[in-house]
Amino acid sequence: MPELPEVQTVVNTLQPLVGRRLGAVRVLRPDVLHGEVEDPAGFLCRRTVRAITRRAKRIVFDLGSGRQMIVHLGMTGHLQIEPSRAALRTHTHLVVAAGRGSELRFCDPRRFGAVWLLAAGTPRRGRGLGPLGPEPLEVSLAEFRGLLARSRQIKALLLDQRVLAGLGNIYADESLYRAGIHPLARSSDLDDVQVRQLYHSIRRTLRAAIRAGGSSIRDYRDGNGERGWFQQRLQVYGRTGEPCRRCRTLITRMQAAGRSSHLCPNCQAL
């Protein structure tokens, strides 16, 4: 479940690849590739990595001449730099030689992730490449207020990547808890104070999680295979039945937007 902080951490830890020239390509599972797929090896081989950046939950490799490789980790995706001599893990789908005896490897057991190879002018369409709202750490308070103007369940709205791009189930729950807002609250019913609290809760939660290297709930790892440690500081996610750290009321779990939602029923009254 890599969300914005986990993806940012992967991007940070992959920075040593910037300036390197890509080499031999092995496609072990062609169906994870999308876009310019006729000749993936020809697309990637001998390209220099100009930059590695993040947009929402997508990792963007700038390969020059308008070429991009975009990676979405989905739920269980890993993108790691590993020594070429290291054994391939099962469910490794793509391997690219990345210089100095290393390889960039994409491994994704559940295959909710994907890799797009996009030449200049290739249309950005299809599953996983849909339109994106603003970045939660870049949007202004005034813009954020505007996003909430339509009446929707606040949790569903926060998870909608077309509205705000980068939050997933963990950080949506954590942000709502910190703001004291129930997941089913109507976005348009929130008063000015609540909107401001939610805005700052999202920013603080994401920033703290990035500093902690993300949350390793199940199998998340960064670009070097290291775990994050923000999971130790989660307030509600995965804490069903445990006492709220603020008021000791037991954390409960409910369905919202088709996702399990964790909340303190006392701190987040509807």
Partner DNA sequence: CGCATTTCCTGGAGGC
Partner DNA sequence: TGCCTCCAGGAAATGC
Query: Of the candidates 208, 200, 254, which has an alpha carbon nearest to the alpha carbon of residue 234?
Result: 208
Amino acid, single-letter form, for residue 186: R
56 scored as a contact of DNA (CB under 7 A): yes
Q: Name the DSSP class of 31.
A: G
Amino acid in the structure at residue 223: G
Q: Which of 130, 146, 225, 243 binds DNA (CB under 7 A)?
A: 130
Q: What is the residue whose two structure tokens read 């990547």?
A: 161
Q: Which is nearer to DNA, 166 or 213 (CB)?
A: 166
Q: Which of 29, 111, 145, 259 is catalytic?
A: 259
State which of positions 167-226 bind DNA (CB under 7 A).
Answer: 168-170, 186, 218
Q: Which residues of 12-32 are buried (b: 16+ CB within 10 A; e: fewer)?
A: ebbebbeebebbebebeeeeb
Kindly name the residue from 47, 57, 152, 239 that is annotated as catalytic. 57
Task: Please tell me the distance from the alpha carbon of residue 231 to that of residue 214, in angstroms, as a whole number.
Answer: 8
Region from 18-26, 41-49, 123-131, 200-208 binding DNA, contact rule CB under 7 A: 123-131
**Rounded to the nearest whole angstrom, what is the least distance from the CB of residue 166 to DNA in the complex?**
8
Q: Which of 171, 160, 113 is nearest to 132 (CA)?
A: 160
Q: Are 208 and 4 in contact (CB under 8 A)?
A: no
Segment interacting with DNA (CB under 7 A) among 9-17, 18-26, 145-153, 195-203: 145-153
Does 145 help bind DNA (rule: CB under 7 A)? no
Task: Examine the residue annotation and report whether 57 is marked as an active-site residue of this protein.
Answer: yes
Given 55, 196, 200, 259, the residue binding DNA (CB under 7 A): 259
Of 83, 85, 91, whose CA–CA distance to 28 is shortest?
91
> For residues 142 and 137, what is the distance between their CA atoms, to the nearest angstrom?
13
Q: Tell me, residue by residue from 64 to 83, as one string, x for binding to DNA by CB under 7 A and - for no binding.
A: --------x-xxx-------
Q: Which residue of 20, 50, 54, 111 would you call a contact of DNA, by CB under 7 A?
A: 111
Q: Minimum distance from CB of 20 to DNA (Å)?
A: 27
Nearest to 113 by CA among 81, 95, 86, 91: 91
Pairing state of beta strands 114-118 and 33-35?
parallel
Q: Is 227 in the site for DNA (CB under 7 A)?
A: no
257 near DNA, rule: CB under 7 A: yes
Two tokens at 151?
């009446």
Binding residues for DNA, rule CB under 7 A, total: 38
3 part of the active site = yes
Q: Does 153 bind DNA (CB under 7 A)?
A: yes
- CA 20, CA 123: separation in Å to the nearest integer? 27
Q: Which is nearer to DNA, 98 or 147 (CB)?
A: 147
- In the complex with DNA, which residue's Cβ is closer, 50 or 226? 226
Strand partners, 116: 34, 70
Residues noted as catalytic: 2-3, 57, 259
- Binding region for DNA (CB under 7 A): 1, 3, 56-57, 72, 74-76, 90-91, 109-112, 127-130, 150-153, 156-157, 159, 161-162, 168-170, 186, 218, 255-260
